[in-house]
Amino acid sequence: MQEIKAVIFDLDGVVVDTAIFHYKAWKRLADEYGFDFTPEHNEKLKGISRLESLDILLSIGGIEIDSIDERNRIANLKNDWYRDYILKMTPNDILPGVKNFLIDLKNTNYKIAIGSSSKNANTILERIGFDSFFDAVVDGLQISKSKPDPEVFLKAAAKLNINPENCMVFEDAAAGIEAAKRAGMLAIGVGKYEHLSNADKVIPDFSNMNVLMIDNLTK
Ligand code: B16
Ligand code: MG
């Protein structure tokens, strides 16, 4: 059984439901190009960087854009649409059970961190009142390789000064589960098992979660 000393949370889709805002913004782009972009397609983009996500989306639509400037322009457009959503967020957008669980963890002396591929993570954390809540935040601005590369979680563990094998990660994306496992951490999926079958355990959400359940998730 791994002794857990730190818990690392993915942001989009775990602490807040921004995954739906990413989907809406990507779908708007696909609509403009005239192809269908489904929630199932969107699963492939979760946890992946903005430009890599754009490449996947364009390949789904069978669209080739060679110019990096043009790809950057389109990715920025999607980001503007996405930011329109997140700038309206409030602490009410924290997903059910998350805040209580985080407080519980802090009070029990677990270290807590955010490990996100997003370059908008700080904006979201400010909007929901969590800007100085975590012991460490690693986001898309601090990494050179996005999930499924383990860099984001290894950096979070290093900032916390905790060994990777003593970290538990909560993730809603298959790419994030792979990243956590490659980092040597315990990977807990949040959401539907069908998308997260590589996780060590899967929980549907945090509504019934408390600190006593950490031990159960390690067994
Ligand atoms: P941005 P996470 C990821 O965040 C999202 O899951 C993914 O859909 C998004 O493309 C990526 O961040 C980059 O986000 O465009 O805001 O920089 O789930 O790792 O917190
Ligand atoms: Mg996520």
pLDDT in tens, 147-168: 999 999 999 999 999 999 999 9
* pLDDT for residue 128: 97
Protein residue with its CA nearest to atom 3 in ligand 1 = 47
Burial of 124 (0-12, 13-18, 19+ CB in 10 A): buried
Pocket of ligand 1 (CB under 6 A): 10-13, 22, 45-50, 53, 79, 116-120, 140, 173
**CA separation for the pair 115, 170 (Å, rounded):** 9
**pLDDT below 70 — which residues of the chain?**
1
* pLDDT for residue 35: 96
* pLDDT for residue 195: 85
Q: Which one is the CATH code of 19-86: 3.50.30.40, 1.10.150.240, 1.20.1600.10, 1.10.10.60?
A: 1.10.150.240
**CA separation for the pair 59, 56 (Å, rounded):** 5
pLDDT in tens, 24-66: 999 999 999 999 999 999 989 999 999 999 999 999 999 999 9
> From the CA of 14, how far away is ligand 2's center (Å)?
6
Tell me which residue of 48, 52, 25 sits closest to 172, measured CA to CA.
48
DSSP state of 173: S
Give me the residue spans of the domains in the chain. 6-16+90-218, 19-86
> From the CA of 179, how far away is ligand 2's center (Å)?
12
Tell me which residue of 156, 75, 77 sits closest to 113, measured CA to CA.
156
Rg (CA), the chain: 17
Q: What is the CATH number of domain 6-16+90-218?
A: 3.40.50.1000
- For CA atoms 152, 148, 39, 65, the dihedral sign is positive
* pLDDT for residue 1: 67
